[in-house]
Amino acid sequence: MTTVTSAFLSNVAIVGAGIAGLACANLLAERGVSVTVFDKARGPGGRMSTKRLDQAQLDLGAQAFTARDPAFRDAVADWLASGLVARWPIISYQASPNGWQLHHDPHSRYTGVPRMSAITRYLADSFQTHPQTTLQLSTRIEALQRSPKGWQLQDAQGHSYGPFDYVVLTTPPPQALPLVAPWEATLAEACRARDQRSCWAAWAVLDGPLPAPPGGQSDWQMARLEHPALRLVSRNQTKPGREQQPESLSLLAHLDWSDTHLEDDPQVVAESLWAAFAALFPPSTPLPERINSGAHRWRYAQPSTADDQLYLYSDSGLAMCGDSFTVSRVESAWVSGTQLAQALIDRSVHNRA
């Protein structure tokens, strides 16, 4: 890993308002750095975003998360105390067409209240309480330009932003590659080396509650599946803060199945994943009717293989972080962004000494 050579870190652009980018932004802003966060979406969240329907709110990316890193555990403790997160799931199953068995998870897991995107919205609000910080949404950054005064960012409409001392990219490596390739061969090679897997996530809102699984409890919250297509089902109405919404399922596909069906029509995917879920019940079991269904494709959901590097940065003023570098976990993304911010701060302090 190369080092930062700028004598003073004062103005940083971050591309991507997921949890990695927002964690990085918060620590930099706390230390007095001017920060601008860009995201192509209308709101922060990344894969922690929540789909809002008239009938229900559904998490289609991360469903829950663990807290094993000491610094992240401290952050989660604060979020618990403020009611931003809560323990979930408490009752989970391992399921297959051969039966359902209670799953005993050795790790405490948490979810955002009343939805996963509450965490990233809280982080977005937090960093903007500091002076000289901006969240620039609905802005797709398509190119970088370098000048003697620093980095300029150009969006899809041709608008220019900057100059910045540093640019932090938290987008998946295939999306970061065209930005860094003209300027930094080491980072470009790192992007090429990090293949990404896709994931389909479907949803189903039902007109009544599900029956109890065979031999199981009716108030189950999550199930991990042994099925070629479907790997995980969560019941969104069992999450804290959503008790009043109807039965509403998130159905996450296996990565191999998602890669094979990457270009399928979303409604076809929704039908396939619903059929996989229905097959977990005896054929004679009446299931509620679906009143809303669909599917969302995460083209770059997680890395093919884990990497022990949480972030990368160069002496040119470019950096990358996010869970695309390690295992695909909420915790990994937060730790990656936080540790990159601390590394940039430490190097800046060292160069000023």
Residue 176's CATH number: 3.50.50.60
Name the 3-class secondary structure at 109.
coil
Residue 197 lies in a domain: yes
Residue 5 lies in a domain: no
Residue 2 lies in a domain: no
Taking 50 as the threshold, does the pLDDT of residue 1 lie above it?
no
Q: What is the mean pLDDT of the chain?
A: 92
Residue 4 lies in a domain: no
Taking 70 as the threshold, does the pLDDT of residue 349 lie above it?
no
Taking 60 as the threshold, does the pLDDT of residue 337 lie above it?
yes
Average pLDDT over residues 210-222: 92
Which of 23, 16, 124 shows the shortest CA–CA distance to 74? 23
Over residues 276-289, the pLDDT tens digits come to 999 999 988 999 99
* Sign, CA torsion 171/172/173/179: negative
Please state the pTM of the whole predicted model. Answer: 0.92
Domain that holds residue 109: 11-352
Domain count, the chain: 1
Average pLDDT over residues 262-288: 95
Residue 234 lies in a domain: yes
- Confirm if 213 and 93 have CB atoms less than 8 A apart: yes
Over residues 71-97, the pLDDT tens digits come to 999 999 999 999 999 999 999 999 987
Residue 320 lies in a domain: yes
pLDDT at 238: 97
Taking 70 as the threshold, does the pLDDT of residue 7 lie above it?
no
- Confirm if 255 and 104 have CB atoms less than 8 A apart: no
